[in-house]
Homo-oligomer: A and B are copies of this chain.
Amino acid sequence: MNKWINNIRQVVPYTPGEQPKEKNIIKLNTNENPYPPSPEVQKTLAGFEADTLRLYPDPAVEGLISAIAENYSLKPEQVFVGVGSDDVLAMSFLTFFNSGKPVLFPDITYSFYDVWADLFGIPYRCVPLDDDFCIRSDDYRGDCGGIIFPNPNAPTGIELPQESVEKIVKDHPDVIVIVDEAYVDFGGTSALPLIEKYDNVLIVQTFSKSRSMAGMRIGFAMGNPALIKYLNDVKYSFNSYTMSRISIECGISAIRDRSYFEETCRRIIETREWAKKELAALGFEFGDSKANFIFVRHKSVPAEELYNALRKEHIYVRYFKKPRIDNCLRITIGTREEMEALFAFLRKYI
């Protein structure tokens, strides 16, 4: 055995959804947007001068931060950006969950939260969702080291009403509450107004879903300037230059094109609501998703069987072999055509 093995950090990493290399598949497994990024992004790329890549980017990322701030009517000092919301969340765990007390998050949720806690040695406690897969805000009462939950939750798609979000934030003035809004743009309500009222709430969003830029890696956090400053201090202590010059420029173009953003989100919501009817007709049960995916269980066909049958047809959905959800599938909302193909197969199969 290597002599150094006991001196190093050994962790069980997060398992990302499959990224199959084959073409001609229907990819409904990692909640990507079926529409391309704003045409403005293509223009920015086409006009980008590669020569400027010899220089470091702006470590303060002022251009992109200002564009995000402007979009949400905030001041730049209320905004932090990172390499996808995973980077923003990892930095947030490192910065804010440092009390030694357990951090709370739902038992069924984004499966990266416990991985970050393990990586940084942060104690945590999972708070069970109710039988309908809903968060009960009362369960989060009492002393803790911080709270994080997605809203809408993943992989359930179910939204916690704003009164309950505010209750959790208000109940815990001494710790940071992170609302992970990766999916909020598909018809959910953002807790963003709370950042003006409470200094302990951080809202995290991403360009990966509603802005069709998973391949570019841009995420951001919004909160009061003190929180953002501490987050920046940790970022500057980790990597001063996380955002490439190209990410910054393309990010600015994407966020400024509001009408394209609104139109693609509208289409996804429309497809989702139609898909709900089709899925119900096929015998699936599911909560009222406000995200770009639906978390379903079939009345009679086991999820794992369906998952494998779909894979054989080159239709990829997400299956989590985990307690309470091992009979569920998470289906990303694709284009209308992709969903038609999925339903055509399911109609035959079921």
CB atoms of B83 and A215 under 8 A apart: no
Q: Name the distance in Å between A14's Cβ and chain B's nearest Cβ.
A: 6
Partner of A11, one of B174, B215, B237, B245: B237
A216 engages B246 (CB within 8 Å): yes
Is A310's beta carbon under 8 Å from chain B?
no
Asked if A115 is an interface residue, CB under 8 A from chain B, the answer is yes
Query: Is the beta-carbon distance between B118 and A237 smaller than 8 angstroms?
Result: yes
1/0 contact trace for A1-45 toward B, CB 8 Å? 011101111111111100101000001001011111100011001
**A236 partner, pick from B13, B42, B101, B246, beta carbons under 8 A:** B13
A99 interface hit (Cβ, 8 Å) = yes
Main secondary structure on A side of the interface with B: loop
A95 CA to B216 CA in the complex, in Å? 26
Q: In the complex, how many angstroms separate the beta carbon of A82 from the nearest chain B beta carbon?
A: 8
Distance A174 CA – B21 CA, assembled complex (angstroms)? 40
From B34, B36, B176, B242, give the contact of A83 (CB < 8 A): B242
Contact with B along A42-72 (1 / 0, CB 8 A): 1001101011111111110000000000000
Of the candidates B10, B96, B233, B239, the one whose C-beta lies within 8 Å of that of A86 is B239
Interface flag for A119 (CB, 8 Å): yes
Residues of B close to A118: CB separation below 8 A:
237
- Jot down 5 A-B pairs with beta carbons below 8 A, ordered by A: A7-B174, A13-B233, A19-B55, A19-B56, A45-B48
Query: Which residues of A come within 8 Å of B, CB atoms?
Result: 2-4, 6-16, 19, 21, 27, 30, 32-37, 41-42, 45-46, 48, 50-59, 83-84, 86-87, 90, 94-99, 101, 115-116, 118-119, 145-146, 173-176, 199-200, 208, 212-217, 226, 230, 232-247, 250
